[in-house]
Amino acid sequence: MSPIPGLQRVGLLGGGVIGGGWAARFLLNGVDVLLYDPDPEAPRKVGEIIAGARRAYSKLTMAPWPAEGTLTFVSTPEAAVVGVDFVQESAPERLDLKRKILGAASAAADPGVVFGSSTSGLLPTEIQQGMTHPERLVVGHPFNPVYMLPLVEICGGNATSEATKARAAEVYSSIGMRPLVLRKEIDGFVADRLLEALWREALWLVNDGIATTEQIDDAVRFGAGLRWSFMGTFLVYRIAGGEAGMRHFMAQFGPSLKWPWTKLMDVPELDDVLLEKIVGQSDDQANGVGIRELEALRDDCLVAVMQGLRAVDDGAGYGAGTVLAQYEKALFDRAAVPAVVDDSAAEVAGPLRTHSTRIPTDWVDYNGHTNDSRYAQLSCDAADAFLRLIGMDAAYLRGGHSWFTAESHISYLAQSKAGDAVHVTTQVLHHDAKRLHVFNRMYLTGRDGADDTLMATGEHMYLHVDTEIGKSVPAPQNMQDRIVAIADRQAGLDRPPQAGRYVGAPRS
């Protein structure tokens, strides 16, 4: 059940690098996916992309991810659009092929369903010809990796309706992207025209032996590329103009446009000599590091850059950091009905199962075991889930209230390692209007019906505070009521032996 209103299920036409990236982004946002791709290898390839996305998303945010959607491979374009709320086409860049697939799929789809095309090189006016209801086709051009980069260019064709563009923007925004709606239909849209201009120049530099592929990459990533991750060329140049601003910059640097700096007049012949040169230099540059490793490194860097940009401006974020901050807010909002536990959980008399996950690879020490502090994180994540269960949603937080942790006690009982399935249960030990005292048991989840193993316990005291005045205040009555409901059902449980321990107390 997707947490995004009006986006329960999408149909994907094509499951290559781009289509697989869309699959990952929709699935990890809790949306079910029907995917058509005639390549028999598609399930494996898409599966690898989704695995990469899971890894990256586990690092991207501490906001609550919804339960993953389900992925179903289908054997025809028509089958991919049955009962879907949106369709994204990512077939190879051949007009005849796209028209054929979109023609078949659009005839089978409900008339109101919007179609996005991932094309980077074809015009929507041409693509939409032959579709049933061509007004619902819009280009939604993403960037690789689709599950990480926020940008998606929206470009309508002659037949495209305004409502179609608005719906596409809404869908893309809801899965954490930043739509850029173009004013005119144009070859290459906007971003690829800019990329292509730089790329052609780069090819000239290699062709003429001025620089290697690695030097060209370095010339970008140690300089202008760092700026481009948060400000574009125009704003950067405005700043370079100093106090006098953009007019001064244009006056100062405008004339250099006439200088013979760039070989814009022509395109280098991509003959075998140039091709071998590029391929060989690229191999040297990669130095034997494989594509999966490079992808993981790229994703780690994107996570780091976007998280970094989220923290600037006192947490308001900037550029892609603002996109991430807003996305996290939306994830919290949608988790208002808790993602991990639901109301029925409050009916359970035993400790509540509040959190389930796998130990991520970056939680592991030099010795291969989960780092001590990650047990604290696991316990805190479970406590967060419990707080959401009793009503800590975005509206509540905006109201200036929160539960602050006063103290935590972790007892370590068994080791775990990367990839282990683990889960946490929560027991209320004590509560009053301002305080909540919980006890978490962290388990290695038994495989195939085997018993779970208790690997650590976490005991936490929370104080209910008014964040404006920074003082503890009673929790809202409906929140207190939910705590009472759970605590009453747990009243008959034994007190855990690790509860109330101080560090160094004798083991009971």
Q: Which stretch binds its own copies (CB under 8 A): 105-113, 266-274, 343-351, 488-496?
A: 266-274
Beta-sheet pairing, 9-13 with 32-36: parallel
Residue 499, interface with its own copies (CB under 8 A)? yes
Residue 314, interface with its own copies (CB under 8 A)? yes
Query: Smaller CB distance to its own copies: residue 11 or 249?
Result: 249
Backbone angles phi, psi at 147, to 5 degrees: -75, -10
Q: Which stretch binds its own copies (CB under 8 A): 24-32, 289-297, 446-454, 484-492?
A: 289-297
Residue 467, interface with its own copies (CB under 8 A)? yes
User: Looking at 291, 450, 469, 491, which residue binds its own copies (CB under 8 A)?
Assistant: 291
Contact positions with its own copies (CB under 8 A) in 92-131:
93, 121
Residue 74, interface with its own copies (CB under 8 A)? no
Please, what is the minimum distance in Å from the beta carbon of residue 53 to its own copies?
A: 14
Please, what is the minimum distance in Å from the beta carbon of residue 64 to its own copies?
A: 10
Residue at 394: amino acid letter: A
Contact 52, 17 (CB under 8 A): no
HSE toward the beta carbon, residue 241, CA cutoff 13 A: 18
User: Looking at 22, 143, 172, 386, which residue binds its own copies (CB under 8 A)?
Assistant: 143
User: Looking at 67, 97, 163, 198, which residue binds its own copies (CB under 8 A)?
Assistant: 198
User: CA 174, CA 170: separation in Å to the nearest integer?
Assistant: 6
- DSSP three-state, residue 154: strand
Contact positions with its own copies (CB under 8 A) in 172-191:
178, 180, 182-184, 186-188, 190-191
Contact positions with its own copies (CB under 8 A) in 216-255:
216-240, 242-243, 245-247, 250, 254
Please, what is the minimum distance in Å from the beta carbon of residue 376 to its own copies?
A: 4
Write down the residue that tokens 């990796």 correspond to.
145
Bridge partner residues of 443 (DSSP): 423, 454
Residue 387, interface with its own copies (CB under 8 A)? no
Burial class for 214, CB neighbours closer than 10 Å (0-12, 13-18, 19+): middle
Query: Smaller CB distance to its own copies: residue 9 or 165?
Result: 165
User: CA 390, CA 388: separation in Å to the nearest integer?
Assistant: 5
Q: Torsion-angle region of residue 30: left (phi > 0), alpha (psi -120 to 50) or beta?
A: left
Query: Smaller CB distance to its own copies: residue 439 or 443?
Result: 439
Query: Smaller CB distance to its own copies: residue 346 or 463?
Result: 463
Listed residue (508, 490, 489, 492) closest to 500, CA to CA: 508
Query: Smaller CB distance to its own copies: residue 199 or 484?
Result: 199
User: CA 167, CA 112: separation in Å to the nearest integer?
Assistant: 10
User: What is the length of the chain?
Assistant: 508
User: CA 267, CA 263: separation in Å to the nearest integer?
Assistant: 8
Contact positions with its own copies (CB under 8 A) in 358-377:
361-362, 364-368, 371-374, 376-377
User: Looking at 54, 59, 100, 358, which residue binds its own copies (CB under 8 A)?
Assistant: 59
Is the preceding omega at residue 66 within 30 degrees of 0, hence cis? no
Query: Smaller CB distance to its own copies: residue 164 or 498?
Result: 498
User: CA 441, CA 456: separation in Å to the nearest integer?
Assistant: 6
Residue 73, interface with its own copies (CB under 8 A)? no
Query: Smaller CB distance to its own copies: residue 346 or 435?
Result: 435
HSE toward the beta carbon, residue 182, CA cutoff 13 A: 23
Contact 50, 12 (CB under 8 A): no
Query: Smaller CB distance to its own copies: residue 78 or 393?
Result: 393
User: Looking at 67, 210, 395, 485, which residue binds its own copies (CB under 8 A)?
Assistant: 210
Bridge partner residues of 466 (DSSP): 401, 471
Residue 278, interface with its own copies (CB under 8 A)? yes
Contact 321, 309 (CB under 8 A): yes
Residue 195, interface with its own copies (CB under 8 A)? yes
Residue 215, interface with its own copies (CB under 8 A)? yes
